[in-house]
């Protein structure tokens, strides 16, 4: 007995209708939701401030090697100017690394608040040299003796400063790293007060 014939419509049915069928089941999106035409698909629209910042950064980005070199020179010059002003005013934000921190600031103030023998070395050295070139034996002997006296006074004064400053640092900054602060202060004593950088922020006799 023959099986029922298969309808011709089933064999020759168009595949286009089958392919289009799933498309009718796609989720319907709300057409009322607006999107920035410049925003990428699948991402939220950036805020106006963020977009302005991004455009500004893109506009300031150098496009050539010459522009990049010029930008670096300008930035370096601006940084040096800020550092120069900080050395004069004592602004902690732009000081060199070796001068930053409350420990180094206290060491500077401790030295600047007193008269150090080492800062008188240059003027005393000029006087001693003038005496040593005079063709008088007595003056030459006096100059030699003054050399010895000045050197001994500087060593003793520096030793006293180092001991007292170390005690002050240990008492005031027990939890801070004070390594190198005493040496930093002693190097500052070798400079005349008006030539010190950063500029002194305390007067003589004023306790830091």
Reported as a single tens digit per residue, the pLDDT across 134-147 is 999 999 999 999 99
| Interacting residues of 119 by C-beta distance below 8 A, sequence separation 6+ | 189, 190, 191, 192, 193
pLDDT of residue 177: 92
Cα(103)–Cα(180) distance, integer angstroms? 10
Give the whole-angstrom CA distance, residue 172 versus residue 124.
35
Give residue 53's pLDDT: 62
Q: How confident is the model at residue 104 (pLDDT cuts 50, 70, 90)?
A: very high
Of 86 and 139, which is predicted with more confidence? 139
């Amino acid at each position: 007995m023959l099986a029922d014939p298969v309808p011709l419509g089933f064999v020759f049915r168009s595949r286009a209708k089958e392919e289009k069928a799933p498309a009718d089941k796609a989720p319907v999106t709300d057409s009322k939701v607006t999107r920035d035409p410049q925003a990428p698909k699948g991402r939220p629209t950036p805020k106006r401030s963020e977009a302005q910042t991004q455009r500004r950064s893109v506009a300031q980005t150098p496009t050539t090697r010459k522009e990049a070199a010029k930008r670096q020179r300008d930035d370096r010059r601006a940084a040096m100017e800020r550092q120069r002003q900080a050395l004069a005013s004592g602004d902690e934000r732009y000081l060199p690394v070796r001068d930053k921190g409350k420990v180094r600031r206290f060491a500077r103030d401790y030295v600047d608040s007193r008269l150090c023998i080492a800062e008188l070395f240059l003027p005393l050295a000029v006087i001693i040299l003038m005496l040593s070139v005079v063709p008088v034996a007595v003056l030459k002997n006096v100059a030699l003796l003054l050399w010895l006296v000045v050197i001994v006074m500087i060593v003793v004064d520096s030793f006293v400063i180092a001991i007292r400053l170390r005690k002050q640092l240990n008492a005031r900054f027990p939890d801070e790293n004070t390594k190198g602060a005493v040496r930093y202060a002693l190097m500052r004593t070798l400079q005349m007060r008006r030539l010190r950088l950063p500029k002194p922020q305390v007067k003589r006799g004023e306790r830091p």
